[in-house]
Chains A and B, each alone.
Chain A
Amino acid sequence: MATETIAAAESGMSPLELEEAGKCIDAHGGAIGMPQLCVDWMGNQIFWLLVALVVIFFVLKRVALPRIAAILAERQGTITNDIAAAEDLRARAVEAEEAYNKALADARSDAQNIVAQTKAEIKAELDEAMAKADAEIAARSAEGEKKIAEIRANALESVKDVAKDTAEAIVAAMGGKADGKTIDAAVASRMKG
């Protein structure tokens, strides 16, 4: 490489010679070979690595990991509780639904009972009223018949009287003299006939 050639020219050594001499960088600050293999730098890296590892380890072990473990455990607990609570609420909802259905069925059967009872009451009332009305009708018609019979009897009597009077008048007009008994008998026999 160009830079290495320059470095070698300045130091009077080839890059390979520089590397063998334990040099890690050339005169321009460029890497010679693999910096990973530079022994000069290893101690520094290992020291700081160990420092970093120890710091990270104690930060994790003392603070971070117990805290995260606690958070996760707490969350697990919360989730478990919530699921239990949800299960409980679900059971209560099922219970409430059952109660609702039962109330509905009860109300329905109550309503049916009330309807049937009301129907029976109305029927009974109706029957009673009908019976009463029938009785009244019967009474009224009996009375009417009686009145008709009376009127009929009265009418017959009147006809008899009229017939007698007429017969008497006719007999008198004929110049005869009729006694009451004969006329009655005659009218009665005629009326029958």
Chain B
Amino acid sequence: MTAALLVATALMGLAGTAAGAIAPVRFRIALSSALTIAACALGFVVGAEVLHSGHAAVVHTTTLMPLASFSLALDRFGALFVVITAVVGICAMIFRFGYDGQGLASRTASSILPLFVTSLLLVPAASNVTTFLFLWELMAITSLLLVLTDHARRSEVQVAGQWYAVMTQLGAAALILGLVLLATRSGSQSFAVIAVRSAHLPAWVRSTAFVLAVVGFGSKAGAVPLHVWLPRAHPEAPGPVSALMSAAMVNLGVYGIVRVGMGLLSGGPAWWWLLVMGLGALSAMFGSLHSATSKDLKRLLAYSTTDNVGLMLLGVGASGLFADTGHRALALLALVAALLHVVFHAVFKGSLFLSASSVHQAAGSTDLDQLGGLLRRMPVSGPIFLVGGLAIAALPPFCGFVSEWLLLQSMLHGLPSGDVAIAVAMPIGVGVLALTGGLTAFTFTKAIGIGLLGLPRTQDAERAGEVGRPMWIGAGLLAVLCLVFGVAPFLVIPSVVDAAGAVPGLHLAGALTRGWNVALPGVPGMLAPGLVAIGLVGFGGLVALGRHLVQQRPVRLTEAWGCGRELQTARMEYTATSFGEPLTRVFEDVLSPARDVDVSHLAESRYYTEAAVIHTTIDDAFERRVYRPADRMLVRWGAVARRVPNGSVHRYLAFGLVALIVVLVVLA
């Protein structure tokens, strides 16, 4: 039953692709989106059924690909990711009905988008190396083409596409090496067989395969230092695509690390997981710092994805570390916290990216310094962004709060386990978690306060209006989920526990939910998100009522006080740059901002200033220190290498002779 549905999901997605390619222009978007939504709905049903029953959905055929079998087996762990992708996919496709920006209506884009969503849905089901790599590359290439949708009009898109192409192909190369190494050494390419035989492989094979997998999946997840494509590609991709990439595709990097590290290799030595935690801590700090100082809304969201992936990796690493030291219940707890964060991140980041695209369409810019006053002008999309921002800042009563709490708890309870590696890693983990938590609150206060509140800073922002209904419905569904999961996390936690329990060797004695509350087995006290929400609404209502009763005169609209100046204009407002300035200064050593001051003087007298302009740019340190030098070095080597084949036939004959001699010497 589930197997047939899984096939139907794939076919429905392919039908969407076909519809996008051949349907007449009038029906193109509607038809391809509707078929993609149907594919997502089918995927949701398969995923939910597998999660519920625990029976894997298996599809196996040898006729589809030459020399290798095409094999899908969706277990509970993979099913969780299918469900997440399906929900995000449905919302992004609904959003797309109203979205007309950035060339997403073209024939190419309309046919590739369904294929991208289908590959996202199928990757977690792949159960042998060939199938996995095929679907993984399909996902990488379709997403690359979608990033490039608008390349003809804007040159930044091409640059972003190049970065993304290089990073994703480097990652894929690492993945192919790692998985092929595992497959040849264990004599089978089936995941199930590898999982059984991998325990007998030599340690260097296992470690090499794991490190290669971390590199490959880390680049897709956007973990520092492999994140450089993310803040470039996400702002340039069309809205629904960046939402899908950030809320669904990035998850699969985390999926891959868990699948290879805990599934295929069934856990490993402590240093593997310390590596993962280290990557996670670095990503979380670096991502949150850069998102706190970014002034472009989509770039800020992209860096915040790096930040959240870091938190997920912290959880995954902690889980592996606990499993390695024999704390199985703690290992499951940490993995559940990480996976719960995957789910919630998909929900709030999806709604944030979609509503940021609404803002882009309505106000013509994603530069925070060009926005302002949009909450009053966009009465639905504004609150959607507000909810997403509060959720990502881990504030109650929204969902981010619950997963961060669980992550903190898993580290707190791991601390007294007596192991030195854990004793060092956990306080650092909590410190990182806390710093990113504070920085995220800062970031989204800025994003909401500068972007949506106050006065509009440009005429475009002044004239902005609410976007079409499909757009706010798509983004709004996810925002509603932020609230629902934040108030009633018991709706989703048991499924996540089931999914994490599919990873071999992890057990939890007891449930993580008690009624509406989140509780750890055997520990007094619990988290009551529902109660917090009721308390907030109840006390808030009482306070508002009290305020109304003591002062019933209507609120008088006044001009804001400004130290005696006559008129308030948007130029006097704080900008995103000025809002982030104190933090930029505090972290000056890490961010090393470049500051240019241009002062032009009056022609009559140089003692008077005509205009002064200050430019502050904050480059990505890894881009500047690692990637740019590497790029320059490659170009230089290329120039040297170009001199070797100079067109002379004699030289080529000499190369042939030397090669032949070398081969003979080696063979002899």
The answer on A and B forming one complex is: no
> Footprint of B on A, CB under 8 Å?
none
